Structure 1
């Protein structure tokens, strides 16, 4: 799923003129807001990579998710893509923005792991039981074939 979304994003960006046009000559969205939007986009894409979904539903849902992210941050999609193209044309800015993005996502992850709501499964008996059941199902299916 992630590769499909990445391919879609690359396709959208490659459809744009490779030279920096006047509309891409400056940022239309501040770096801070751009990082916020990118964080939400990456988190949305990560959630879709974890959950198995059928392709049509996933494509439609992720596009709806992008729309709600843009609305949440009061960002016009054209301004987002224009600013993203500007960042692509200026690798130092892109590097800086993604450096901040990685730092903030790491902080969010650290906070989430410390959260009392997130209980890490320490009892491996459930895991062992699921492996045992998985092996039994496989054995039974092979037995039917014989």
Structure 2
């Protein structure tokens, strides 16, 4: 009985360790948060331009490319990473909570 309990405990601990690892080709959480911050800042910047919505929709991809270039990440890696994190609501909630907190800090530092 004791051996089976220890075996189950070892299997569960191994499973939990491998589950937390991010697969190859997926951005880690810190990099994902950093990317999301810059993407939302780019969206906000484009939204402040005094142009029509259609024009801003054409302009935004240029800003988005700059974000990918800044982080040296292809857009496909970002899209795959976003899809990966969206499969786990708790993880995505944590990532967006960090993103929003960081955006609040940026907003407050710009107010001063």
TM interval, shorter chain, is: 0.7 to 0.9
TM-score of the aligned structures, taking structure 1 as reference length: 0.56
Q: Which runs of 5+ in 1 are unaligned?
A: 1-24, 115-146
User: Which structure's CA Rg is the greater one?
Assistant: 1
Report the count of equivalent residues: 90
Q: CA RMSD of the aligned region, Å?
A: 1.7
Structure 2 equivalent of residue 82 of structure 1: 80
SS in 1 for 2:73: coil
Is 1:39 the counterpart of 2:37 in the alignment?
A: yes
Given the two structures, how large is their TM-score scaled by the length of structure 2?
0.72
Matched position secondary structure for 2:51 = coil
1:103, distance to aligned residue in structure 2 (A): 0.9
Alpha-carbon distance, 1:96 to partner: 0.7
Answering whether residue 65 of structure 2 is matched by residue 67 of structure 1, we say: yes
**1:112 to partner: Cα distance:** 1.4
Q: Give the whole-Å Cα distance in 1 for the aligned partners of 2:37 and 2:98.
A: 10
Q: Report which of the two has the higher share of helix.
A: 2
Deviation for aligned residue 1:85: 0.4
- Report the alpha carbon displacement of residue 55 of structure 1 after superposing the two structures with TM: 4.0
Question: CA shift at 1:56, angstroms?
Answer: 4.2
Structure 1 stretch displaced more, 55-64 or 78-87: 55-64
